[in-house]
């Protein structure tokens, strides 16, 4: 007799639905388990086998916890704002609202067919007014608390998507969405002051149970370093250049300085500098390059010496030349560095090319051949000579700098503030009004949600303007403060916004008086176990921890961390052992597998194809 998996699966899936078998209970006397998986982007392509593996781990845990007597919350929703839907809408003329609704319907039925035990009564769609009202509300709270600011900046701009991208969304100098080359463009940018939370985000890692490589990636992304700030006097002037260094112990080896071509000191001493034309021409060239090209690409070091300005090494009083070079960025640190060619590879290369002195201050290498970056005894360093440990030499130099009043201990972060606006239609409107008299004013809380207007033309404007800027009835408004004529902000939020707090909304998805009921938050938080992709352990995980910590600080959530535990699944590769992609034609459609062998076989297979955290290729013969 043939095993009729279809009839059996249908029978049980039907009964689960009728009996609300997986709906979390209201009973707060029970022990709870909150299992969270990363919610999908409802793309037109539908479900992928990667989704099955991503959800199956916690699917098993959740079912086990139910059997152990826990009250289990295991929800799934849709992260539905963003560019793929919008680009599809522009191409086909179908409104993003309809595209999103259709895709969510398709996804939901596919997921039910695979038999996941999600609590579908808790599902959310981040593009619904009832959801994005609270995304805007959190932003407004941040605005009230001084965590939102606007600044003109050179931004990464994708000419094809017509959108401004964060550094993380444009790695390698390519657009994360369409893979076109990024160009630099000056634009007003809204920022969230995430750097203010850098220390809290690092300290919080000590109280959570994350995979070690996830913790490591977060620490690396935040990139806290301790070092020293020091002022290098400009020779013959009552002025100085400020630098940051983690290696002030090598200061006797500083033989030149490098500043960013955009450094304000060049404008300030325009008249004194004798080769200003050459500097201007170099700066012009740099403006065409992306940050990635400037700092990451392996290439010849280029630069121009500033004639007419020189600096003084605060350690030994020697006059040293100053160069501009594109590998120093204004956005990082102070926009100026001290160069120690004997002990830094990049500085060594630069010094060799420009014929600058190289002074060895740590013994142990052969600086006639290459920079020496190892440890050793301090030499050619006056009062540091003979010291054998880096820590001791740094301590001594810090004392010296403080005594002379030219430097002090300092901390720096690699993480920058979060560029928080996009010039696109399919996103949450930023609830800010621009008034000539009052400046930037928040849209009053009682007027939230600030609705995304229904339009027919969602093409971005020329020069990267938001499509909302074309709608006069949206743009023109009254200032909430003074009642005068004002203009609404027309940019929308980035896709990372709605996923920064979605796990809170699952707890109480229909609440229209607050983002979630305080008692319910107290019962369900923190998320006991969060599983997702390794590609989301920096941006998404850090952004959502930042929002959570802010909500904790203003008394909205009861825990300082959102996720007690975080793991990650490995990719499912194509049968050829390569990452699945449409263009390679090696994508496995889970729907076909379910039709052929049933949902249980599919679910068991993805869990037993190898170590859950490692990548593994799909094997047709193992499934069948
Ligand atoms: Zn693009
Ligand atoms: Zn006003």
Residue 578, Cβ neighbours under 10 Å: how many? 11
Ligand closest to Cα of 156 equals 1
Cα(259)–Cα(255) distance, integer angstroms: 14
Residue 420, pLDDT score = 92
pLDDT tens, position by position, 47-105: 889 999 999 999 999 999 999 999 999 999 999 998 888 888 888 989 999 999 999 99
Ligand closest to Cα of 441 equals 2
Intervals of CATH 3.90.740.10 along the chain = 225-412
Ligand closest to Cα of 482 equals 2
Residue 513, Cβ neighbours under 10 Å: how many? 5
Residue 156, pLDDT score = 81
Distance 83 CA to ligand 1 centre (A): 9
Distance 192 CA to ligand 1 centre (A): 23
pLDDT tens, position by position, 164-190: 777 767 777 788 888 888 887 878 889
Backbone dihedral region for residue 364 (phi beyond 0: left; psi -120 to 50: alpha; all else: beta): left
Mean pLDDT of 201-227: 96
Q: Does domain 5-132+496-623 have CATH number 3.40.50.620?
A: yes
Distance 164 CA to ligand 1 centre (A): 9
Confidence of residue 366 (pLDDT cuts 50, 70, 90): very high
Ligand closest to Cα of 439 equals 2
At which residue do the structure tokens 């998320």 appear? 527
Q: For residue 535, how far is the Cα from the chain centroid?
A: 10
The answer, yes or no, to whether residue 462 has pLDDT greater than 90, is no
Ligand closest to Cα of 442 equals 2
Ligand closest to Cα of 174 equals 1
Parallel/antiparallel/unpaired status of strands 616-617 and 572-573: parallel
Ligand closest to Cα of 435 equals 2
Residue 2, pLDDT score = 63
Distance 137 CA to ligand 2 centre (A): 21
Contacts of 71 (CB under 8 A, 6+ apart): 24, 25, 27, 28, 30, 31, 32, 33
Both tokens of 320, joined, read: 């040293």
211-218 long-range CB contacts below 8 Å, 24 or more apart?
211/566, 211/567, 211/568, 211/613, 213/534, 214/534, 214/537, 214/541, 214/566, 214/568, 217/537, 217/538, 218/537, 218/538, 218/541, 218/542
pLDDT tens, position by position, 221-262: 999 999 999 999 999 999 999 999 999 999 999 999 999 998
Cα(275)–Cα(65) distance, integer angstroms: 72
pLDDT tens, position by position, 6-35: 899 999 999 999 999 999 999 999 999 999
Rg (CA), the chain: 28
Residue 166, Cβ neighbours under 10 Å: how many? 19
To the nearest whole number, what is the mean pLDDT of the chain?
A: 92
Find the helix packing angle between 599-608 and 590-597, rounded to 10°.
120
Residue 299, pLDDT score = 67
Cα(151)–Cα(514) distance, integer angstroms: 31
Intervals of CATH 3.40.50.620 along the chain = 5-132+496-623
- Ligand 2 ion: residues within 5 Å (CB): 435, 437-438, 479, 481-482
Q: Which CATH superfamily is domain 225-412 in?
A: Valyl/Leucyl/Isoleucyl-tRNA synthetase, editing domain (3.90.740.10)
Confidence of residue 455 (pLDDT cuts 50, 70, 90): confident
Residue 99, pLDDT score = 93
The least confident of 375-384, 426-435, 464-473, 528-537 is 464-473
Distance 174 CA to ligand 1 centre (A): 8
């Amino acid at each position: 007799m043939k095993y009729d998996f279809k009839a059996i699966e249908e029978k049980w899936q039907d009964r689960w639905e009728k009996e609300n078998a997986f709906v979390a209970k209201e009973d707060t006397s029970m022990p709870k388990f909150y299992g969270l998986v990363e919610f999908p982007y409802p793309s037109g392509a539908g479900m992928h086998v990667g989704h099955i593996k991503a959800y199956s781990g916690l699917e098993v845990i959740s079912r086990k916890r139910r059997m152990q007597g826990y009250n289990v919350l295991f929800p799934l929703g849709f992260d539905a704002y963003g560019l793929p839907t919008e680009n599809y809408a522009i191409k086909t003329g179908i409104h993003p609202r309809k595209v999103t609704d259709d895709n969510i319907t398709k996804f939901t039925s596919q997921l039910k067919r695979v038999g996941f035990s999600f609590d579908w009564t808790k599902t959310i769609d981040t593009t619904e007014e009832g959801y994005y009202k609270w995304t805007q509300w959190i932003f407004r709270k941040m605005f009230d608390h001084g965590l939102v600011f606007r600044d003109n900046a050179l931004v990464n701009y994708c000419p094809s998507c017509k959108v401004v991208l964060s550094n993380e969304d444009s790695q390698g100098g390519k657009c994360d969405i369409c893979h076109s080359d990024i160009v630099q463009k000056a634009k007003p940018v809204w920022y969230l002051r995430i750097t203010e939370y850098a220390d809290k985000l690092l300290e919080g890692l000590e109280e959570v149970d994350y995979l070690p490589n996830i913790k490591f990636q977060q620490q690396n992304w935040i990139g806290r370093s301790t070092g020293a700030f020091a002022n290098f006097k400009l020779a013959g002037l009552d002025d100085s250049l400020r630098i940051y260094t983690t290696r002030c112990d090598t200061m006797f080896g500083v033989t030149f300085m490098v500043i960013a071509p955009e450094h304000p000191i060049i404008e300030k001493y325009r008249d004194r500098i004798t080769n200003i034309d050459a500097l201007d021409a170099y700066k012009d060239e740099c403006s065409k390059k992306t940050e990635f090209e400037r700092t990451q690409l392996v290439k010849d070091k280029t630069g121009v010496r500033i004639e007419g300005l020189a600096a003084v090494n605060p350690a030994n009083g020697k006059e040293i030349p100053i160069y501009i070079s594109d590998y120093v960025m204004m956005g990082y640190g102070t926009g100026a560095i001290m160069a120690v060619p004997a002990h830094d590879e990049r500085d060594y290369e630069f010094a060799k090319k420009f014929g600058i002195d190289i002074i060895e201050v740590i013994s142990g290498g052969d600086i006639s051949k290459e920079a020496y970056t190892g440890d050793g005894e301090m030499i050619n360093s006056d009062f540091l000579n003979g010291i054998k440990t880096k820590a001791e030499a740094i301590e001594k130099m810090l004392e010296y700098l403080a005594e002379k009043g030219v430097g002090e201990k300092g901390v720096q972060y690699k993480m920058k503030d979060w560029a928080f606006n996009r010039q696109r239609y399919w996103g949450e409107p930023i609830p800010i009004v621009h008034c000539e008299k009052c400046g930037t004013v928040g849209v009053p809380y009682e007027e939230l949600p600030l609705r995304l207007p229904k339009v027919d033309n969602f093409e971005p404007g020329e020069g990267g303007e938001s499509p909302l800027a074309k709608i006069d009835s949206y743009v023109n408004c009254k200032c909430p403060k003074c009642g005068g004529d004002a203009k609404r902000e027309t940019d929308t939020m980035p896709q990372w916004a709605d996923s920064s707090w979605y796990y809170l909304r699952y707890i109480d998805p229909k609440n229209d008086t607050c983002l979630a009921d305080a008692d319910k938050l107290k019962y369900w938080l923190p998320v006991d176990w969060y599983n997702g992709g390794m590609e989301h352990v920096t941006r998404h995980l850090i952004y959502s921890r930042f929002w959570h910590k802010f909500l904790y600080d203003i008394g909205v959530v009861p825990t300082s961390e959102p996720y007690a535990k975080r793991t990650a699944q490995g990719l499912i590769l194509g049968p050829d052992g390569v990452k699945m992609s449409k263009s390679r034609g090696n994508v496995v459609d889970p729907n076909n597998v379910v039709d052929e062998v049933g949902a249980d076989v599919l679910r068991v297979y993805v869990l037993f194809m190898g170590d859950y955290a490692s990548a593994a290729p799909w094997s047709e013969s193992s499934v069948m």
